[in-house]
Structure 1
Amino acid sequence: MTGTVLVTYGTTNGSTARIAGAIADVLRGEGLTVEALPARSVASVAPYDAVVAGGGVYAGRWQKHARRFLRRHRRALAERPLWLFSSGPLDASAAERDIPPVPGVKKAMAELDAREHVTFGGCLEEGAKGPVARMILRNGKGGDFRDFTAIRTWAAHVAHELTHEGA
């Protein structure tokens, strides 16, 4: 594939954006043309030959802008290679085992014929927005559980599929 890849994300406090940035960097490093954009700012996926979309998981649902992105662009997404990722657990569980997608993402995977989904650990640090986030932090449950080695490894796998398997 020699086209352009969109890496898009729904994030509330920036953690998922940083994961998307790391994915985009790996794809670029593999020679792909990549644009990384917040899900709420994507007007069309027509300029892209493949899409990687991610969302932070909050209370068992993908972040609202990520959900809306999949709904708004569902027809076009079903016509191109699509990979999905979630960011969420505020513990080491994502590094210890495969965490299935939340129900709404699982349904979207089937409807859009997504190639793959992966869940990465999340990050919630002081200054996070929202009353639930502040409560989690007050209870000492925050922290950074993103594994950037695992994120880069998965991105390299996606790049390989795009560049060697004629995605």
Structure 2
Amino acid sequence: MMQIKKTFYSIVFFLLIANSAISQEENTKSEAGGPATAKELVGFWKMMPLPNKSANKINPWPQDYQWFWFTENGKVYSMMKSENGEYSSAELSNVFKVLPKDKTPNYRIQGQFVIIDNPEIKNYKELWGTNIFAKDIEGIAKKGDLIMTLDDGTQTGKVVYYRLLRRIK
């Protein structure tokens, strides 16, 4: 029974990601969601566990507990820990504000993608597809959750890493 449920969630997860890719290609929102706009992306986020961790081909950031802040001025801060915690946006803001802005990664939205570069690493670039869920998907995501899909670096759309984020209010 558990294997059937896991397979079902994997199929639903795949279909949602496929729908996200199609929506991104067409620059549209569907009833399931669509690409994140700049306004939707800005704010604090906590990474949530994926229903199927094996969907990730690689794991460049192996710590299970991660928090992010996408700022209005194009900076993206992150914090990773080996232990879970609940942080408010005010607490995370205090943590992230001590980090030097000139060494903090930048992000920009280009079409349906978020591109992240790091001023500390020459020619560093991450290409992320995004989808904001427009409704709850049982066992997978809640309305307003953000799924980010990392390209393998070839910019061919081959996804190697999924990140599911939930907004921190």
TM-score using structure 2 length: 0.26
Query: 1 or 2, which has the higher strand percentage?
Result: 2
TM-score using structure 1 length: 0.26
Query: 1 or 2, which has the higher helix percentage?
Result: 1
